[in-house]
Amino acid sequence: MKFFITGTIRSEKGPRAILTFTLLFFLVFLAMNVALLFAQTGLLPSQIAELHEPSTVMRLERTHVQLFLFTLVYVISASIFFQTRIGPGFKRFGLFAGALLTFFYIVSYPLLLTADALPVYLYSIATIAVHLWYALLIGYLLYDLYAPAGHLAPEHPVSGEH
């Protein structure tokens, strides 16, 4: 935890190897989740409507699992993202976009009460968007962990020099 508090996650004594393993594990989780979703419901709206799960209990159970897993992925990736060397505006946007996409993805599945077109399209878009978002975010986090200081924005801008 001290590395997140002090902001030294990229130091040689920092937890870079552990964070790298965690982020790679999250990429495997995303790939497995996409494979599971594709096998269970498909990712295209026509497949979702055809393979729709009619049981409310099963939809709620799946929502419960997705809520736990994606909240865990969001909290850990957001805490690493907060330590990146980009500006605060991009950080706010990234944290907000990640939370919003995760929320819409999680709540869109229980809304599939029927195989109507609008909920199916919303779920399909949310599924593809959230998985793509996290894959790109994790790629950026891995890049930021190992990029030399000169390749990204400075961690602490020097003020007063002209």
pLDDT for the residue 52: 65
pTM passes above 0.85:
no
pLDDT tens digits, 107-123: 877 776 565 677 778 88
CA–CA separation, 105 vs 123, rounded Å?
7
Mean pLDDT of 121-140: 89
Residue 5's identity, in one-letter code, is: I
Contacts 24+ apart (CB under 8 A), 147-156: 149/85, 152/84, 152/85, 152/86, 153/85, 153/86, 153/87, 154/85, 155/7, 155/85
pLDDT tens digits, 45-67: 777 766 666 777 877 888 888 88
Cβ atoms of 112 and 120 closer than 8 Å: yes
Greater pLDDT, 43 or 2:
43
